[in-house]
Structure 1
């Protein structure tokens, strides 16, 4: 199992669109190229999960990533990500915003 935090203004809507309908039979008929349409087995084994709102996403992020500080992300990392100051770490499978010069990580 893998869990990710997706960062985008419309992350919830976009991810839910890529996943397709929750019911696999509906996904196969109405969105066959969606993740669930292509790979879902049953309604309870539908291959993927995504939050249904920003509030749910915050709760689920806190559950799966207790060390993640959402407030700090929005105040410090997210503005730097928007400016293109992020790199992808293949080893860790995550985008990282480098520490600003003259600061130390905790």
Structure 2
């Protein structure tokens, strides 16, 4: 039996919230067969964002990134399923200017930076760190998908 309980962390950034993409993005993950186990709308503090993006702290664009992320609410989510991290990243696309149509960034993004719409974990370690940074354990819900038998062998 394949590991169907891998979890990934996804954020719909302020521009994605403001442009009304929440439902469209959630729908894409649901249609892919992933299970939503945590979701909240939040305005995170500067310190919260600086910790989240600590690996970019030395980048020249870091102050502008943090300012942009604080410009409005974001939707933080945890999705679960087979190969959720790698496949989630594939669904997002990469650089917004070069992402293929059919990916979230390819369909909805206008530029790199303020127009990138979404963030997704890039590894198991990053996912675990990001999930525990944004969610308390009791905010994540474990349940069986009724259609699991149709998704996995």
The normalised TM-score by structure 2 is 0.42
Instruction: Tell me if structure 1 keeps the 8 A contact 2:93–2:103.
Output: yes
For residues 127 and 110 of structure 2, the distance between their equivalents in structure 1, rounded to whole angstroms, comes to 25
Superposed CA RMSD in Å reads 2.0
Q: Secondary structure at the match of 1:2?
A: strand
Counterpart check, 1:34 vs 2:103: yes
For residues 107 and 82 of structure 2, the distance between their equivalents in structure 1, rounded to whole angstroms, comes to 26
Map 1:1-106 → 2, pairs under 5 A: 1-21=74-94, 23-27=95-99, 31-44=100-113, 45-65=115-135, 67-68=136-137, 77=142, 81=144, 84=146
For residues 98 and 76 of structure 2, the distance between their equivalents in structure 1, rounded to whole angstroms, comes to 25
- The CA deviation at 1:43 is 1.1
Instruction: Tell me if structure 1 keeps the 8 A contact 2:97–2:110.
Output: no
Instruction: Tell me if structure 1 keeps the 8 A contact 2:96–2:105.
Output: yes
Give unmatched runs, 5+ long, in structure 1.
85-106
- The CA deviation at 1:14 is 1.3
Could you say which residue in structure 1 is the equivalent of 2:150? Answer: none
Instruction: Tell me if structure 1 keeps the 8 A contact 2:105–2:116.
Output: yes
